[in-house]
Amino acid sequence: MHRRTFLQAGAALALATVFPSVRAADARKVRITLPSPGSAGSAWKPLFETQGLNQQTELDLNWVMADPGKMQIQLSAGSLDVGVFGAVGLATLANRGSDIVLFGPALTNHGRWVVRGDSHFRSPKDLVGKTIATTAETSETYLQARIAASLHGIDLKKDVKVIHGSPTANLALFERGDVDAIITLEPTATRMVARGARDLVRVADMWREATGASKDPFLVGLAANRKWLEANRETASQLVSLFQQLGKGVQQDPSQLQGIAPDLGLKKDETEAIALLPQRLGPAYSTDGGEGVQADIDKQVQVAADLGLIDRIPDRPLYVNV
């Protein structure tokens, strides 16, 4: 019996060595957020597949369609291991006692102010006194747009009438002529431009012009409860590496976004929008991490505190290096 057990163990070891996929059964499972179609993050799962990243890791990624409004609850309840958060939203939670921390890159800011193609508006200041539609008041899309605008002397709370709603509702308002502009993320902005609208400005460019930053600012990053992170630092480190590889892959060949356009919520007949994806959406997938990201986060939180968007600067770091 001892000899048989020894031979079986040896055979299993040989198989695992020759066929690495045999080890998949023992892969570390990670429940990670997957934003719904219509957002840049919905590309993560198909990009992992097309870039072959699933075969380059021992992690078994279980992509969970997560509601951003419920992500904190999902992380706290353990139904989700890794989510994504922005700096201001996470600072708000931290001031309420949340122990969620950022630990890796995900997306840089790709928000845009979009106006009708025949409008006379040439800068955000031309929209003072006008009506703009954008996402929820607590969304990073709006919060970071408000921060960037404030650095240019525009208070979106006072100088502009803002209507908050879903991207679909905002688009309907825009197409009916009920609002003068929309502040939105990709790929919605690309779909609008393909239909004849015009970019007024990128939120990232407003930030860079005001701060002198050389790169587009942080929008959202990988996040987890500190307890999970401390118990799974190697797993977290591998995730950071995978997302950085994903971002580099897109930077090197942004045309791959065209092949997964349906996952981004675009229809096959939206050929003009699909053709624009590489140049407009490609830069959104972050390859950065560490000190550069932390500096962005600290700056955003500081401005948010100055504006009164958060009660105070959190008394703990929001970002942990793994």
DSSP annotation string for 201-230:
EEHHHHHHHHH--SSPPEEEEEEEEHHHHH
pLDDT of residue 1: 40
Which of 188, 179, 183 minimizes the C-alpha distance to 149? 183
pLDDT of residue 224: 96
Neighbouring-strand partners of residue 102: 223, 319
DSSP for 218-276 reads EEEEEEEEHHHHHH-HHHHHHHHHHHHHHHHHHHH-TTHHHHTGGGGT--TT-HHHHHH
Contacts of 254 (CB under 8 A, 6+ apart): 277, 278, 279, 281, 282
Structure tokens given for 31:
């429940």
The domain spans of the chain are 2-109+218-278+285-307, 112-211
Averaged pLDDT in 10-residue chunks for the chain of 322 residues? 41 41 59 91 96 93 82 84 94 93 94 97 97 94 94 95 92 95 96 96 96 91 95 95 96 96 95 97 88 85 91 94 89
Q: What are phi and psi of 12, to 5 degrees?
A: -65, -40
Q: What is the pTM of this model?
A: 0.87
Q: Which fold has domain 2-109+218-278+285-307?
A: D-Maltodextrin-Binding Protein; domain 2 (3.40.190)
Q: What are phi and psi of 101, to 5 degrees?
A: -130, 150
Is residue 224 a contact partner of residue 99, using CB atoms and an 8 Å limit?
no
Side chain identity at residue 92, one-letter code: T
Same fold, 2-109+218-278+285-307 and 112-211: yes
Contacts of 322 (CB under 8 A, 6+ apart): 103, 104, 229, 233, 236, 237, 240
Which of 168, 166, 190 minimizes the C-alpha distance to 281? 190
CATH of range 112-211; options 1.10.150.120, 3.40.190.10, 1.10.260.40, 3.30.420.40:
3.40.190.10
Q: 140-150 and 203-211 helices cross at what angle (nearest 10)? A: 40
What are the start-end ranges of the H helices in the chain? 2-18, 44-50, 71-77, 87-94, 140-150, 167-176, 188-194, 203-211, 226-231, 233-252, 256-259, 271-281, 291-307
Q: What is the DSSP letter of 35?
A: P
Which of 208, 229, 181, 200 minimizes the C-alpha distance to 296? 208
pLDDT of residue 288: 80
